[in-house]
Chain A
Amino acid sequence: MVLTREEVEHIADLARLALTDEEKERFRQQLSAVLEYAARLQELDTEAIPPTATVLPLRNVMRPDEPRPLAPREDILANAPEAEEACFKVPAIWE
Chain B
Amino acid sequence: MHLYNLTIHEARSLLGAGEISAVELTQAVIDRILAVDNDVRAYITLTPEVALEQARAADAVRAGAGPLQGIPIAVKDIICTAGIPTTCGSRILENFIPPYDATVVARLKAAGAVILGKTNTDEFAMGSSTENSAFFPTRNPWDLERVPGGSSGGSAAAVAAGECLGALGTDTGGSVRQPAALCGIVGLKPTYGRVSRYGLIAFASSLDQVGVLTRDVTDAAILLGVIAGHDPLDSTSLDAPVPDYTAALTGDIRGMRVGVPREYFVSGMQPEVEAAVRAALQKLADLGAEIIEVSLPHTDYALPVYYLIAPAEASANLARYDSVRYGLRIVGTSLEETYKQTRGQGFGPEVKRRIMLGTYALSAGYYDAYYLKAQKVRTLIKGDFDRAFEQVDVIVAPTSPTTAFRIGEKTEDPIQMYLSDIFTLSVNLAGICGINVPCGFDAQGLPIGMQIMGPALGEMTILRVAYAYEQATDWHTHHPPIASRTSRAH
A residues near B, CB below 8 A? 3, 7-8, 11-12, 14-19, 23, 27, 30-31, 33-35, 37-38, 40-42, 44, 46, 49-56, 58, 61, 63, 70-72, 75-76, 78-82, 88, 90-91, 93
Contacts and interface: CB of A to CB of B under 8 A. Distances in A.
Nearest to A89: B324
B275 interface: no
A79 B96 CA distance: 6
B340 A18 contact: yes
A16 B319 CA distance: 9
Contacts of B255: none
Given A56-B238, A80-B324, A81-B327, A27 B300 contact: no
A49 B376 CA distance: 6
B368 to A, nearest CB: 10
Contact of B376 (A8, A14, A50, A55): A50
A81 B323 contact: yes
Given A15-B355, A46-B380, A81 B329 contact: yes
Nearest to A46: B376
B447 interface: no
Interface of B: 82, 95-97, 99-100, 192-193, 206, 232, 235-236, 238, 298, 300-301, 303-305, 307-308, 315, 319, 322-329, 331, 334-341, 343-345, 347, 349, 352-353, 355-357, 359-360, 363, 369-370, 372-380, 382, 414-415, 418, 430-431, 456
Contacts of A55: 192, 206, 382, 430-431, 456
Nearest to A16: B339
A79 B326 contact: yes
A45 to B, nearest CB: 10
Contacts of B370: 35, 38
Given A46-B376, A54-B236, A71-B100, A15 B327 contact: no
A41 B326 contact: no
A56 B304 CA distance: 22
Given A56-B192, A56-B236, A90-B324, A31 B380 contact: no
15 contacts: A18-B343, A23-B349, A34-B357, A35-B370, A37-B415, A44-B301, A44-B377, A49-B379, A52-B375, A54-B236, A55-B382, A58-B235, A71-B100, A81-B323, A88-B324
Main SS at interface, chain A: loop
A30 B354 CA distance: 11
A93 B258 CA distance: 61
Given A17-B347, A18-B345, A19-B344, A40 B96 contact: no
Contacts of B319: 16
Contact of B340 (A16, A37, A41, A56): A16
Contact of B97 (A27, A46, A61, A78): A78
Given A52-B376, A63-B235, 19 more contacts: A14-B359, A16-B319, A16-B343, A17-B343, A18-B345, A37-B304, A38-B307, A41-B374, A41-B377, A42-B369, A46-B380, A49-B377, A52-B378, A55-B430, A61-B236, A75-B99, A79-B99, A81-B323, A90-B324
Nearest to B307: A34
Contacts of A54: 206, 236, 431
Contacts of B232: 63
Name the residue in A51, A58, A88 with the highest tally of chain B Cβ atoms < 10 Å from its Cβ.
Answer: A51
B455 to A, nearest CB: 11
A25 B377 CA distance: 30
Contacts of A71: 82, 99-100
Contacts of B335: 90-91, 93
Contacts of A78: 97, 99
Given A56-B236, A79-B326, A17 B340 contact: yes
A61 B331 CA distance: 40
B235 A11 contact: no
B332 to A, nearest CB: 8
8 pairs of A and B residues whose beta carbons are closest in the complex: A55-B431, A71-B99, A18-B344, A51-B375, A81-B329, A75-B99, A79-B326, A46-B376
